[in-house]
Structure 1
Amino acid sequence: MKLAIVLLGLVALSAAAPQERGVVQNMLQDEVNKAQSQLKSLQDQVSDLKSKIETDAANVISAAEAKLGPMFTDLENEISKLIAKGEVIADCAIKNRDDLAEFKPIVFNNLPTCASGLADDIGAILLGVESDIGALAGAIANLALIAGECAAQGEAGAAICAGSKVGPILGNVLSIIGDAVAAVGIAIGKAPAIVADVEYCASNVVANAVVTLGKFGDAVKKCA
């Protein structure tokens, strides 16, 4: 519909008086500007979506670390109290302290691996979008080139040139924009699943760590 309106305008201008045909150049430039604006909007949406997924995933990891941190600290404090008592109790507590010190970095190193495939996952859902954006950039460059060629033909030939050459290119631009907008919508819909996978992984790491910390706690109590 939009393309038809633009072409009707060009046909009307081609029949207009010569002094009115200078509007053709402005109309062509407007179409180029609109397409470039849409391209920029799509690029911004892709950038924002990437940033949101990365931020949400980072927040998941941070929340898991924040949950486990105090649990390790509490257990470490209990062990320190037992070590302060000396003798056999201290020997037992030191053994648990050393084992806990080995376990702690394993847990906190495992959490970031939950997001290790994030870049690939993001790339997968944006593959179609970025392909459309690349095609759109090329089509806009072609549109701008033809618009410039038409404008260079002077008042009399500009409208005729635009009607015959710009129409198909503009139609292609609008078609690609439609595809890209749809692809962005699909990508946005898939984003929560990526973050959910990170959450699932992190929750398993936390759950396993909690079980192990519970066993450490029981062992420490036996030291006393």
Structure 2
Amino acid sequence: MKHQIKRLTTMNRIQSTGLELFYQKGYYNTSIDDILKKLSLSKGAFYYHFQSKEEFFISITQTLLFRTVYNQLITPIEGKEDPLNAIIECMDKDLQTAEQNFLDYGFVLSNFITEFNGKNPEIMAFLQDILTVWEVNLVTILQKGKTDGYISRHTDSEALASYIIYSYIGIRTLMVEGNSKQLRYKYIQQLRQYFKTMDSRTTA
């Protein structure tokens, strides 16, 4: 039991450091040696847990990356009565966190999708799965909002979910190089105005 706990702890430590470096430098610009140097681990220790760099990244995608996106963008709006307002609050809080991060390199999931697109179909499939889970959860939450009378019944939940995802990815990308505070403020204000057109309480 102790051996299993130690093994899982080591794996998590390697994965966390790997995700951090892949996020900062990109997958192709980060070597296993870079990760091991930061951790002060031997290659033997790494290959005891993972067969290759690709398998290592896939394991990060299935665990840490999935959990990060879910906790960041899905959990905060689950079970909320007013989904449109909950999404606004979630987005604003998340963007404020990015705004205050001096080591912000953009939205981690979209960064990897951009990097692997056209280069590694297997890894792309895992990244797209995370995007799909995000989209499906948004659609489910929006549909419930329509049923509960918070969102106009004429709203296309799938189209709105896609807009939310891709506008978020766009603003996160722009915030890396631009005036993040101003960009966040303008984005949230416009998103708020857009959502008003679908709020059943203001359009009835």
TM-score by length of 1: 0.23
Decide which structure has the larger Cα Rg and report it.
1
Going by fraction, where is helix more abundant, 1 or 2?
Answer: 1
Q: Which has the higher contact order (CA 8 A, sep 6+)?
A: 1
TM-score by length of 2: 0.25
